[in-house]
Amino acid sequence: MAINNTNAVSTKLGVDVSSTYIRLEIYLGTGQQAEIGYHVYADKAAYLAGENMINNVLDFDFSNHGTGILAAADVNLDNLHDLAIAELEVRGLDAAELAKADLV
């Protein structure tokens, strides 16, 4: 599961990165709760090559977030993608620039 992000994100050194590949790590807890981890890479090729995440150099909050209690019907890949995108929008990214990728 991933999100292709075409929002520009600045690094801590002030350099804009025009796009990133955000791999989602989903941790399912008890009681139908989920924790979504955002693992950010320069692009999909960097992820596939086993390169390191770039979260620590970006000046944006890509920390994990908890979903709270979900209805059983909402614990699915498509909905978890939607929740991840909605959270990134709350944090300041334009949702129109976030596209679901690699659903399987």
In a domain, 33, yes or no: yes
Q: What CA–CA distances, in Å, run from 104 to 57, 100, 101? A: 28, 11, 9
pLDDT tier for residue 76 given thresholds of 50, 70 and 90: confident
In a domain, 50, yes or no: yes
18-48 pLDDT per residue, tens: 999 999 999 988 778 889 999 999 999 999 9
Evaluate whether 24 touches 2 at the Cβ level (below 8 Å): yes
C-alpha 16/C-alpha 66 separation (Å) is: 28
In a domain, 30, yes or no: yes
Which residue shows structure tokens 């600045």?
10
In a domain, 101, yes or no: no
Q: What is the total count of domains within the chain?
A: 1
In a domain, 20, yes or no: yes
pLDDT at 29: 80
pTM, to two decimals: 0.92
In a domain, 76, yes or no: yes
Residue 55's CB is within 10 A of a number of other CB atoms, namely: 17
Angle at 67 between CA 36 and CA 47, to 5 degrees: 10
Q: Identify residue 48 by its one-letter amino acid code.
A: L
In a domain, 39, yes or no: yes
Q: 61 lies in which domain range?
A: 2-96
